[in-house]
Structure formats: structure tokens, C-alpha cells
Amino acid sequence: MRIFEPDFPFQPKRLPFFYGWLILVVATLAILMSIPGQTMGVSVFTEPLMDVTGLSRIGLSNAYLVGTLLSGALLPWAGSFLDRVGARAAILVACAGLSVTLAYLSAIDHVVVALMDALGTEAAENFFFGAMVFGFFAMRFTGQGMLTLIGRTLLGRWFDRLRGIVSGASSPFVSFGFSLTPILFAGWIDRSGWRGAWLEMALVIGLGMGLLGWLLLRDTPEECGLHMDGDPKESVSPTSMAASSVAASEPERGKFADAQVAYSRSQAMRTYMFWAVAAPLALQGLTVTGITFHILDLGSEVGLGRAATISIFPPIAVVSVVTALLAGWLTNYIRLQTLFAWMLVGQAIGFVSATGLDDPWFYWAAVLGLGFSGGCFVPLSTVAIPRFFGRLHLGAINSAMLMCIVWGSGLGPAALAASREILGSYQMALYGCALASMVALLPVLWAPAPPLLTETNAKRT
């Protein structure tokens, strides 16, 4: 359709600056707009949701788990959809879907009661559980799934040499946005009520982000007659979508070559490196999601009130910002495997320390550990896939990686809730997650860079 052509309603190459910088801004906004579908955005709504649905904490956590697992299962399709229709159409679908979902969840009790009346049944708990599964599925798929996927994929497509620096530049805004979400959303709920807050978010995302994304997003620099990083080189064919960056995991490979790396999703998932990268990212999603989802109860377990508990997020954001800038810069100079190993150490420290937030030493260790691992997350998740596997199928491969992260984030709240329900505390679940981070440390350090697989020889594989 004409409205999705790269030169409509304007030609990016005619602007007096490299269009990739605008892509950086809009891609970062897209990731921020996914927050209502992220655990950070859901966590402050758990108490009102339990009140109106009658579900227990573990019941709501299980609904969140099932919805998240279902959304993760569909993410590979979302990646292929993004590669096929382009970012402009995909972001319209994602924003519309998340907007409708938020409106639905804002009236979840009324919807369920109306459905029960229509069917003449009184099995309220089962209906509420099913309705929440559907709501969480749609919220996670469109928010955490599609909007995040679009933002990260576009950063990987528009930048090569500057990819680490660009992801580091995006990370402070993402880190601050996510870390301040519980405080900002709590204030939003105090002002507009939890229903009104979700309805207002739906309006901002559906109209604001949807239209902005359609207007400004473009899939690749090549289709706009530009070159990656804004280099003043001769433009390449729009059909040449393979990456210009290679699997440069050794320090001596820090200077990017022009080899055209072109892994398909199935080929990437058969490599050791894919799973070595997936493990720390999924562990981050699993445990941080669990901590965030139950943060108020985690604080009350050690005698902290609501304000004292959520006050941990701003200092975490500060540490995340500093770490993200440093990690983004370092991705061009040291092995990504080493950065992933540091991230795992930060995870272990943060997860163990989160069990004793009432102790100042544990509190600040949690701030440093969670802030450091969170700061590494965005640069490494943005840089690793295009560097090792290329840009040709970047949306599809990113979606497979995001599926692992989403599934981890779905298991986290349920695992911590089960620990609380069965063992009476969150401690054992958090200790287990810290142990998993240490177990993943050596495999990621030993992971060899995958072989260079070009668009030509990929077809022979």
C-alpha cells in the first residue's frame, strides 16, 4: 500500500541529518510504550485486580504465567510478521491491540459478570481466571512482545559499527522509564483510579504511539537510499538485507568486516551461541519479573511499607543508566561473552540481596546487582543477535530470543508465588535463581562465535 512506502509522506534521505537518529528516538519510544504490557507496568495493578476478580495471589500469578507462555509461543509468528509487512504496519497492529487490551482489562469485572449472566452460570472464579489469562496474553503479546520486538529490531537494522553506542544511548531512557514505572503508575492510579489509568494509557498508545510510529518508522536504511550508520558510501540494494557486521566475538575482531552474515531463525537456533545468549537474558526476565510482580509483598515480608519498597527503583535506574552507557560502548571492544558473564554475576548478587531489603547492606547490594544486570540487558540483547546472526532474518531471530525471555518472565511470578505459598517465603526461589545464574556462567564464557554464514552458503545449509 502507498501509505506504507518508505517515501510516504516524505523522503528520509532528503532530511539534513541521518534518519537513523530519528529511528533511535522512535524505537526507544516504542519500547517505553510497551511498559503497560511489561511486568513493571502490571505490578502496581495486581492488588486492585485481586480485589475485583477474587483471585488469590497465586491464582493471579498462574493466570499471568499461562497468558505469558501463550504470548511467547506466538512471538516467532510476530517476528515473521514484522519481517513480512514491515515496522509501520506492525506498530499499528501492536498499538491498536495493546490499546484495546488495556480498555478490556479496565472493565474486566464487568465483562465477566455480563458473560456469566449471558451464559446463566455462577462459576465466577473459573471465568475470572480465563478472562485474566486472555487479558494477560493479549497484553504481553502486543506490549512486551511486539512493541519491544519492533524497537530492538529497528536499532539492529539501522546501525552496525554504532550499534553498541546506540543501544547504550537508548538504554538510559528505557532503564529510567522501567525503573520509575511503579512510582509513576502508582501516582497515576491515585489520580485517575486504576480503571482510568488504563483507559488513559490506551488512548496515548493507540492514537499517539500508533500514528507516530506509522509516520516516522522505516524498516532499513537501504530502502530509503541510505547506508547503515549514516556512512557516506554508495547505497546498496534494498534487497540486500544481510548484515554487514560479522560474528565478532573476539577482541581482535572488534573492527567490523563487510561479510554478509545471513542466518535463518532455524539455523541460528541450532547454534550453541544462541542458547548461551538466551540463558542470561531469560534468567533476567524470569527473576526480575518475579521480583517486580511481587515487590510490594516482598517488601512487606521484611516489614517495609509500600513507599519504602518501591523507593528501590530510582537508585536501580541510576545504576542501570551508567552500566548501559558503559556496556554499549564496550560491545565494540571486548567479547560479548565476557559482558554476558559480568551480567550473570550481577544477577546472582541482586537476586540473593533481594531477600533482605530491610538490611541496608542487602538493600544496596540489590540496587547494584539488579541495576548492573538490568543495565547490561538492553545493549547486549540489541547487539548480540545482529552481530552473530545478521540482519536478513533479524525480526524472526529476535522474536525467537524474545520468546525465551517472555517465557522466563511468565515463569518468574508463578515460581516466586509458589515459593511464598509452599515455603512461606520468597527466599528459596531467589536463591535458586541466583544458583542458575552461576550455572550459566561457564557455558557463556566458553561459547564459540558461530561460523560466518552468508546469504549464499546459507541456502546450502
- In terms of pLDDT, which residue wins out, 136 or 252? 136
Assess whether pLDDT exceeds 90 at residue 269: yes
The model's pTM: 0.79
Average pLDDT over every residue of 170-188: 85
User: What is the band of 144 on the pLDDT scale with cuts at 50, 70, 90?
Assistant: confident
pLDDT tens digits, residue range 256-265?
Answer: 333 456 788 9
Question: Lowest mean pLDDT: which of 27-41, 63-77, 114-128, 311-325?
Answer: 114-128
Q: What is the pLDDT of residue 245?
A: 39
pLDDT tens-digit map of 114-134: 877 777 666 666 788 999 999
* Residues 173 and 32 sit within 8 Å (Cβ to Cβ): yes
**Which pLDDT belongs to residue 23?**
96
Q: What's the rounded Cα separation, in Å, for the pair 91 and 38?
A: 17
Does residue 290 have a pLDDT over 90? Answer: no
pLDDT at 350 over 70: yes
> Which tens digit of pLDDT belongs to each residue from 222-246?
999 999 988 776 444 333 343 333 3
User: 17-225+241-458 adopts what CATH topology?
Assistant: Growth Hormone; Chain: A; (1.20.1250)
Please report the pLDDT score of residue 108 as a whole number: 92
| Domain range annotation of the chain | 17-225+241-458
Query: In this prediction, what percent of the chain has a pLDDT beyond 90?
Result: 48
Residue 121 confidence (pLDDT)? 66
